[in-house]
Structure 1
Amino acid sequence: MTILPGCTATSVNRISFGTDVLISHRAFLQGAGEIRFGSKIMVGPGAMFITTSHDIHTRLSSSSPISVEDGVWVGAGATILPGVTLGAGCVVAAGALVNRDVPAGSVVGGVPARALSSASCNVKNILYFESPAWCGQF
């Protein structure tokens, strides 16, 4: 697991990571409702994982877990809201607001996020950090 400078996390005891996970600069992880990261995951700069929300009428807060399955990419500035599961191998475009589950192998983007296409990637063969583009990033 690699967490780059500027990342902020709360309730860190409720955040779990698989292997080969990169959390980029200025990401925010709100662990109150629990965040479970699988393996071979990349999270772009400024992405946010928000596990707590408020009822619009009572203003009471509630938390729900976020699950990020193996091989997921989350683009820069994307926001993942409470209770969402990001299916294996899916891609979340930069700036997307994800308020519902994303099926495995799909590409979503927009506000709110909607399906854009599918991603055909063999998650087991991903070698993110062997790319020359990553040299000198750490």
Structure 2
Amino acid sequence: MGDDCRLLDIDPLTFGSEPHLISLGNRVTVTAGVRFITHDGAAWVLRKSHPGIGVYGPISVGNNVFIGFNALILPDVHIGDDSIVAAGAVVTRDVPSGAVVGGVPARVLSRITDYEARALAKAELNTAVADRR
């Protein structure tokens, strides 16, 4: 885990059964209900023919990343720097740096620069509303 990370309302299930396969960069926020899934539990159906089979994959999260409420991050995924994973997203493949992803399965919704413009416009609007009080 990197520096200046925020782990908000996490629980024992957040980092799953193989937390050693998960790496977080600097300035990462992990919100409530997020699950990092580092294994393919469906391999269980193969255990009759292949006792003890386990299929695992690492998860890496870059720097300056926000992972929203109840997102699922699946094995063998890298989330690039300066990215946002929307609430409820199911991330099945790599997230490019500077992307906002969401949906099931997650797909790129916009660039972080587009999100920044929208957020700043709302922040200015909210400031104006607060000033009228």
TM-score in terms of structure 2 length: 0.73
Q: Could you tell me which runs of 5 or more consecutive residues in structure 1 were left unpaired when the two chains were aligned.
A: 1-16, 122-138
Q: Percent identity?
A: 41
Q: Conserved in 2, the CA contact under 8 Å of 1:55 and 1:61?
A: yes
Counterpart of 1:58? 46
The alignment partner of 2:15 has SS state of: strand
Q: Conserved in 2, the CA contact under 8 Å of 1:108 and 1:114?
A: yes
Q: Could you tell me which runs of 5 or more consecutive residues in structure 2 were left unpaired when the two chains were aligned.
A: 48-52, 117-133
The alignment partner of 2:46 has SS state of: coil
Counterpart of 2:9? 25
| 1:36 lines up with 2:23 in the alignment | yes
Q: Conserved in 2, the CA contact under 8 Å of 1:24 and 1:46?
A: no
The alignment partner of 1:108 has SS state of: strand
Q: Runs of 4 or more off by more than 4 Å in structure 1? A: none
Task: Give the superposed CA RMSD.
Answer: 1.7
Specify which structure has the higher proportion of strand.
1
Specify which structure has the higher proportion of helix.
2
Q: Which has the larger radius of gyration?
A: 2
